[in-house]
């Protein structure tokens, strides 16, 4: 089951996107709606709130006066935490119940206003952020919700910043224009990424994206993407993956490279990587194993193939190419990947040389297997230089 976390700043237009997704067949779980449901009249949640905050938080009909409650906790951190201790467990229980009710082939969209603030990103396969400029959001809150400008700004200031939300986003949908533009973008996301991702996930199948160029301009988002993926994998594997590192070309700031995120997952033993629970945890996260890829290319200095054994997982997400290299901590492959990355980071001339080698060989061999084989002699040739760098700098993995 594909799980999507959806968020955005107040006034960004999340409801427009979730409405479109629901029409397309998604099960939308609205955290705001659940926060009202668990304190509806007659619930034990409302009784607990009244017991803690008094009858003054009720309206004349005995329902929760949300404005009065907000006033009671707005600038009182302890009170806010006590309220969360009452409401959040009830919301979590109800959320689990709704998600469990989804059909096997149904995509679940969890609309959570405070997804970023609560650091919930690792709970989902993708995080979608609905983005709108602050001025646009402010205007909507004043005109559509009847807030004063001061009230609207205060609500906005108590949420994550735009930069924090964008750093947490796998997908950003802009909502500064007409409503139909966001609806159209949402439908495109559904058809081109979410549905294929869900189908691949259920089939335990790696996505087959179009052939990628060897060299793309450096993208600053590569680092934040790798960080999000690392957090998800770490949450799924726990102590079974003591170390996870961003390696490869996208891990070298400023250097062009293939638009594919390479992550190295360190395990104490490859038997850990072969444990069915380990394999299933990555598969459920959207990273099926590719069993016929089990070896790094040995260098001339270390030709023993047994030193270069690994496991490999690809990505089921058609919108993001990811390579997971599972290697034993301290193995030749583990050390080479880290040393190569750090050498390129520290030696700009080496990074330029690597880019030139890739450009030349891709022209000579295209992007077939001949290209990968043609790079092997260069990787062997730079080993002494990398070793000299390690000795000079006191490098360790």
What's the CA angle centered on 98, arms 94 and 104, to 5 degrees? 155
The DSSP code for 295 is: B
14 is in an annotated binding site: yes
CA separation for the pair 175, 335 (Å, rounded): 45
Asked if residue 11 belongs to a known ligand binding site, the reply is yes
- 93 annotated as belonging to a binding site for a ligand: no
Residues 382 and 13: their CA atoms lie apart, in Å, by 52
Query: Buried b vs exposed e over 253-270: b needs ≥16 C-beta within 10 Å?
Result: eebbbbbbbbbbbbbeee
Asked whether 24 and 190 are in contact (CB, 8 A), the reply is yes
Radius of gyration of the chain (CA): 25
Ligand-binding annotation for 394, yes or no, is no
**Cβ–Cβ < 8 Å for 205, 317:** no
- The Cα–Cα gap between 232 and 282 comes to 10
Q: How many CB atoms lie within 10 A of CB 164?
A: 12
The answer to the question of whether 358 is labelled as a binding residue is: no
Q: What is the DSSP string of 131-163?
A: E--HHHHHHHHHHHS---HHHHHHHHHTS--HH
- Cα separation, 376 vs 28, in Å, equals 49
Q: What are 312's two structure tokens?
A: 């490999």
Q: Is 381 labelled a binding residue?
A: no
Binding site members: 11-16
Binding site members for ATP: 11-16
């Amino acid at each position: 089951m594909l799980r999507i976390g959806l968020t955005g700043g107040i006034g960004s237009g999340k409801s427009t996107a979730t409405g479109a997704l629901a029409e397309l067949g998604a099960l939308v779980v609205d955290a705001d709606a659940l926060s009202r449901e668990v304190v509806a009249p007659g619930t034990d949640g409302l009784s607990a709130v009244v017991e803690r905050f008094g009858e003054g938080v009720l309206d004349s009909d005995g329902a929760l006066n949300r404005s009065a409650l907000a006033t009671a906790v707005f600038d009182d951190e302890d009170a806010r935490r006590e309220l969360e201790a009452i409401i959040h467990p009830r919301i979590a229980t109800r959320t689990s119940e709704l998600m469990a009710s989804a059909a096997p082939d149904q995509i679940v969209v969890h609309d959570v206003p405070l997804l970023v603030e609560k650091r919930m990103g690792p709970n989902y396969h993708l995080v979608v952020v609905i983005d709108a400029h602050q001025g646009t959001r402010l205007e909507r809150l004043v005109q559509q919700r009847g807030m004063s400008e001061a009230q609207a700004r205060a609500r906005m200031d108590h949420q994550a910043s735009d930069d924090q939300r964008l750093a947490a986003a796998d997908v950003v949908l802009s909502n500064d224009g007409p409503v139909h533009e966001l609806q159209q973008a949402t439908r495109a996301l559904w058809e081109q990424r979410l549905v294929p991702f869900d189908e691949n996930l259920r089939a335990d199948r790696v996505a087959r994206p179009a052939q990628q160029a060897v060299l793309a301009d450096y993208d600053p988002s590569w680092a934040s993407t790798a960080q999000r993926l690392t957090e998800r994998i770490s949450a799924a594997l726990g102590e079974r993956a003591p170390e996870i590192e961003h390696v490869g070309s996208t891990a070298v700031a400023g250097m062009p490279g293939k638009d594919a995120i390479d992550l190295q997952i360190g395990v104490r033993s490859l038997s850990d990587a072969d444990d069915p629970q380990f394999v299933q945890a990555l598969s459920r996260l959207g990273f099926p194993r590719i069993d016929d890829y089990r070896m790094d290319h040995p260098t001339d200095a270390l030709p023993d193939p047994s030193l270069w054994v690994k496991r490999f997982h690809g990505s089921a997400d058609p919108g993001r190419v990811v390579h997971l290299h599972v290697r034993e901590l301290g193995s030749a492959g583990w050390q080479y990947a880290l040393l190569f990355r750090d050498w390129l980071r520290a030696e700009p001339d080496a990074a330029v040389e690597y880019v030139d080698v890739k450009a030349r060989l891709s022209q000579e061999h295209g992007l077939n297997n001949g290209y990968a084989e043609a790079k092997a002699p260069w990787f062997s040739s730079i080993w002494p230089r990398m070793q000299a760098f390690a000795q000079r700098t006191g490098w360790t993995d």
